[in-house]
Amino acid sequence: MAHGRWKRGAVGLGLVVAAAGAWGWANRADLGARYAARQLTRAATDDERAAWAAKLIDHGDAARASVVGFVSTGSPEVRAAVVPAVEKQLTERPDDDGSAAALADALLDAFPGCDAGGQESVVALLPALLKRIGPAGAAKCRVVTAAGLKLPSPAARLGAIRAAMHPLVKLRADVVPLLAAVEPEVRRAALFAVGPATDDDQVIGDEELFRWLHDADADVRRGCQDALASRGRTDTDIRLGRRLTNPDAAERLDLLLDLRSDDDVADPEPWLERLARDADPGVRAGAARVAAELAAERRQALPPWVPRLAEADPEPTVRRIAAYYCATLSRTDGAVRPAGGP
């Protein structure tokens, strides 16, 4: 009797062990992911955390919830280990890797619920995320990119700038305000995104770009010159544009004198028209005078913007000077040509 009970108990125990083993085998990926996540949070050094983050990410779909949680709201130390592991998986896995694509989609979905550090991390990952999402995920990326361009972290804004250039995102116009960023590396990236000639519509005009020829950062100045050259601007155009936007009003007045006598500038009138919109009233008045002198010398009509100065300039002295030249030269209508144009 006792022997029978023992035998039945042994059989039952064997079935339990077998069932437990089968369950463990079937759930080994989930168990491994949980163990790696627990060890990651307990790790004491950066190297240990990096090692456990790599092991966690290797568990694929089973680790997705933990990975997204660590990126979204994890401690700074754990997040610092997980984000590089995520970026590596997103960039190095095969193009048809479904697990990497699902992780990218989950991170984009989690963005609204991330803390500040989590949002910065997701935005910094945008270039890698874009490798995994298709056209169906473009709307999510645009939302995250637009938010990222306004984040305080330079790294996040740099990631958002790169994403804004992507054909699926197309938010280059939203990058323009970052040309005024405090950080030179952000200004350089923004200039690279919006400055050079592309097949897309321009989001900033040539003449607006001239001001970055005076940037405090040498690389920004060089990048601005290269961007203008890619748009077909000549060395003369760039030289004049640099002087046109010089912060020193005295330098802009000197430009007026050179436009009066510089034979290298075949058509100075468009440049004079820009100077007629200068912040300094002396420059505006000087532009009217030089335009009138050139018109008389070349027996040409007075440019139409001179009468406009006479009628609407906020400074009485400028109106008076422009009106004098309007009274002595004939007035005609015409379109203002772009600076440097035909």
* Mean pLDDT (10-residue bins), the chain, 342 residues: 52 44 47 89 93 91 92 93 94 88 94 94 92 86 95 92 93 96 97 92 92 96 96 92 94 91 82 95 95 88 92 95 84 42 34
Helix (H, G, I), strand (E, B) or coil at 302: strand
Residue 135 confidence (pLDDT): 84
Distance of CA 186 to the CA centre of its chain: 8
Give the up-direction half-sphere exposure of residue 297: CA atoms within 13 A in the CB hemisphere. 8
Q: What's the DSSP call for residue 278?
A: -
Q: Which amino acid is at 38?
A: R
C-alpha dist (Å) from residue 307 to 114, 115, 165, 334: 58, 58, 43, 12
At 327 the pLDDT is 87
pLDDT of 71 reads 94
| Cβ neighbours, 10 Å, residue 245 | 19
Dig out the tokens for 107 from the structure. 């991170």
CA distances from 96 to 60, 170, 331 (A): 14, 24, 68
- pLDDT at res. 29: 57
Burial (0-12, 13-18, 19+ Cβ within 10 Å), 26: exposed
Cβ neighbourhood burial of 312 (10 Å; 0-12, 13-18, 19+): exposed
> Residue 273's closest CA among 293, 257, 290, 258?
290
Q: Domain residue spans in the chain?
A: 25-170, 175-233, 251-342
Please answer whether residues 114 and 72 qualify as being in contact, where contact means their C-beta atoms are separated by less than 8 angstroms.
Answer: yes
- How far apart, in whole angstroms, are the C-alpha atoms of residue 289 and residue 322? 7
Cα–Cα distance between 195 and 205 in angstroms, integer? 9
Is 79 within 8 Å of 70 (Cβ atoms)? yes
Predicted local distance difference test score (pLDDT) of residue 93: 87
Q: What is the pTM of this model?
A: 0.78
Contact between 163 and 145 (Cβ < 8 Å): yes
Residue 129 to residues 89, 177, 272: CA-CA distances in angstroms? 10, 24, 48
Asked if 47 and 70 touch (Cβ cutoff 8 Å), the reply is no
**In the prediction, which pLDDT does 3 show?**
52
Which residue has 């203002």 as its token pair?
336
Integer Rg of the chain from CA:
32
Cα–Cα dist 93/85, whole Å: 12
